[in-house]
Amino acid sequence: MLQYVKHVGKYLLRPEYRLSEKEAKKLQLIKRQPRFTVIQTDIFPSPLWMVDSASFVFIYSEIFKQEIYKFKTSNAKPYILDCGANIGLSTLYFKDLFPDAEVVAFEPDTKVFEILAKNVQSFRLTNVSLLNKAVWHSETKLQFYAEGADGGRITNDIKEANVVEIETVRLKDFINRPVDMLKIDIEGAETQVLEDIADVLSYIDKIFIEYHSFVNQEQTLDKILKIIKEAGFTYYINQVGIVSQSPFYEKKAFLGMDNQLNIFADRVK
């Protein structure tokens, strides 16, 4: 009874608590929706569409509750490269944090890209460039596993279901001026891309990298950390998504991945 009274008191006296309660109810409603289905939500002031309920709830929590992309800059109009923009939650966050920012958002999955473009239009975001291409170390065409949510990735298995051909751009071509934030969440292609841009990392102030380790494939975390350390960055690492409590006994895997890490690289001043 006492807990209920406290709850009612907070709800009546604290607007931010009411907002949190409404937000939680909307997230619960989204969780009950079928996966891999396009649905609309009013969790934001403007309508937003998603391609998958489960991945939305997870990404929303990371970006808007934990604020993993939050950063400081003295630049009133920061230049941000959003590699792996998905439906646009990261782009929305960056533009909310810095309304005058210039954002270039890359998303190779055509169906997901359509929702990204729709959300950017719904929020009337300006100075945002959208590219329906994957970032890579060259301009070419590659096979891409369109997972339908946030797990799409470049693949060599052309016999796998939902594999389509996509176009790529060379990320290095976009790093010809100071970059305030480089976000890389590209499902396993991060090492090849970082190796290609290693000699232009001096342009970049902050880098976010989601590292992916795949079952029975060479791990490349050491290569990534060596590149960013030699470029003058310090790093902080968080484990995310896949967690194996007893990895000596059993390693858990999801979509072929057995480990995911968030790497936050900050330039040494």
pTM of the model: 0.90
Domain ranges of the chain: 64-267
pLDDT digits (tens, 9 = 90+) for 97-136: 999 999 999 999 999 999 999 999 999 999 999 999 999 9
How long is the chain? 269
Q: How far is CA 212 from the centre of its chain?
A: 13
Residues 6+ apart with CB under 8 A from 142: 134, 136, 154, 165, 166, 168
CATH class of the domain comprising 64-267:
alpha beta
pLDDT for 77-86, tens place per residue? 999 999 999 9
Residue pair 68/208 in contact (Cβ under 8 Å)? The answer is yes
Q: What is the rounded CA–CA span in Å between residue 109 and residue 92?
A: 18
Helix and strand counts by DSSP (H, E) for the chain: 7, 13
- Between 93 and 250, where is the model more confident? 93
Q: Which two tokens stand for residue 78?
A: 């920061």
Residue 222 has pLDDT above 60, yes or no: yes
Q: State how far the Cα of 190 lies from the Cα of 211, in Å rounded to an integer.
A: 7
Distance CA(172)–CA(195), nearest Å, equals 10
| DSSP per position, 118-137 | HHHHHTT--SEEEE-SEEES
Q: Please give the Cα distance from 237 to 213 (Å, whole number).
A: 14
Residue 59: which H helix or E strand, with range?
helix 53-60
CB atoms within 10 A of CB 59: 20
Compare 257 and 4 and report the one with higher pLDDT. Answer: 257
